[in-house]
Amino acid sequence: MNSYRPAADSGLHEACGVFAAYSSQQQDFNAASMAYYGLYALQHRGQEACGIAVASAGAIRCHKDSGLVSEVFNSRELAQYPPGNITVGHVRYGTTGSSERSNAQPIVVRHTRGAMALSHNGNLVNASELRQQLEMNGSIFHSSTDSEIIAHVINQEALHHDIEEAVSRAMPRLHGAYALAIMTESKLIAVRDAHGFRPLCYGRTAEGIYVVASESCALDAVGATFIRDLLPGEILIFDSKGVHTRREHCNSQPHRLCVFEFIYFARPDSIIEGSSVHEARLRAGAFLAQQHPVEADVVIGVPDSGIDAAIGYARASGIPFGNGLLKNKYIGRTFISPTQSDREDKVRIKLNPVPSTIRNKRVVMVDDSIVRGTTCARIVRLLREAGAKEVHMRVSAPPFLYPCFYGTDIDSSESLIAYQHTLEEIRQIIGADSLGYLSLENAQHLAQEIADKHADGGFCTACFSGDYPTATPLETSKIRFE
C-alpha cells in the first residue's frame, strides 16, 4: 500500500463564480456596484481573488486583485468606475495556475477588432495542447490559467468572424468544463459547455437589466427574477436588439452537471436546473439514514454544507437534530497559520463544540465529504474532548477516489484518503466509532428533477467512479504552465 500523507489544507475547493449584467441604457446604471453585490453572493465559490470589468463609452475598465470581494473593492474603488451598461465579474479559487494577481479575472484582451473581457468557471482538459499551439502561432500569455487560453482561442477566431460566430467556432476546440461570461464594448455573451459541467443561469430586474450568474442566489442578491438556466452548449447574447440564443452545440454531448454542486459547492438557497440545493442536501441526509442507521442521541452537522444533510438524517432517523458545532463567522481566508502547531489548532479557531449538545451523548456527525481526512479527524477529537460518548461519522458524498479535471483542485488520487485506505482504516484514522458514506447510486438521485430527465442520471460523478465524460488531460498538475 502506498504511504498516505495528508496535505495541511484538507478541504475541497471549487474553481470560481461568474457574474455579469447588461442594460440597454447606460444612464443611471451603476454596473460596478451591481457586480459587487453579485460577487458577494458568490463569494463561497472562490476566496482567492476577484475582479470587475465595466464597458463604458466604448472602453473597458477592469480592476482585479487577490483577496475577498470586500478586501479588493471598497467604496472608493467602486467610485472609480464610470457608469456603464455592461459588466463582468469573477471570484476565483485557483484550480489551475498559482495564486498570483496575474491569474485573477476577468481576463481583458485588446486587439485590432476591439476589446473583450472574459470570466470563466471550470477547467479545460486539452489546455496544454491548446496553449502549445497558440504559443507556436505567436500568442503571448500573461497568466497560467485555462481562462486566458480560452480568451486567445476566441480572439483567434474573432480575427475573421464577428464575436458571436467566433465564440461558436471556438467551442469545439475547447474540451472540458466552461461557463463563460464574455463582454465586448457593446455585447454580453454567456456560454455553457456542451456537457453542462458547471451551472449558469440568467434573470432580469424590474428595470430591465439582464443578469447572468453561476447561481440563482446572485440573481436574488441584485433583485433580479430568475428566468432560466442556460442549456448545455448554449450561447446567449445580450445586445441592443434584445436577447438572442444560439443552440448549434446543444445536445451534442451527454448532460453531465457536476453532482458536487448539490453536495457542497452551491449555496443552499440556489436553484440549479430546477432543483433546490437545500432539498438535495436534505435528501442526501435521508439516504444516509437509510443506508447507515445507528443508535444515537443527537445528530449534528459540520457547518456549513453539512447542516442540511444532518437535518435530513435526523428527520429520516427520528434522532433529534442539535446545534453541536459553532462556526466562527469572522475567520476567513486571511487567517495566518505560521507554524505547524498553529495549523493543527486551526480547526479549534474555526469550529467549537457546544458542550450541552455533545456531553454524554452518542453523536452522529454529518459532513459533506472526506477528502484527505485531517480536518474530520480533528473535529472528531474536539467532540470527544467535549464529552461525546460515541461519534458516528456520516458523509453526504461517496468516497473520493479519482482526480477531478473539470473545476476542483483534486489533481491526483495520491492525496485522497479513500484511494489509499479501506473504510475500516479510514474510520480508525479519523477516530470515529463508525463511518458511512453516501452510495454512488443515491448521489445520482440527489436532484431528482435532473435525474428524471436523463436516463443515465445526467450527472458527472467521475471523482467517485472514475467514469470521465471526456478524455483526460495529459498534464494534470495545478501549476502546469509555470
List active site positions: 16
Tell me the C-alpha distance between 123 and 14, whole Å.
11
Of the chain, the end-to-end C-alpha distance in Å amounts to: 32
**Measured at the alpha carbon of residue 326, what is the angle toward residues 375 and 389, in degrees to the nearest 5?**
70
Tell me the C-alpha distance between 355 and 229, whole Å.
44
- Helix, strand, or coil (residue 461): coil
Q: 235-239 and 188-192 as β-strands: parallel, antiparallel, unpaired?
A: antiparallel
Position 208, amino acid: G
Query: Which whole-number Å values give the CA distances from 130 to 134, 156, 159, 175, in the listed order?
Result: 6, 12, 18, 10
The H-or-E segment that residue 298 falls in is: strand 298-301
Residue where the block lists cell 466509532: 433
CB-CB contact of 369 with 12 (8 Å):
yes
CB-CB contact of 392 with 305 (8 Å):
no
* Best CA proximity match to 395, nearest among 355, 363, 364, 357: 364
Angle between helices 277-291 and 307-317 (to 10 degrees): 50
CB-CB contact of 118 with 106 (8 Å):
yes
Alpha helix segments (H runs only) across 1-84 = 31-41, 69-72, 75-79
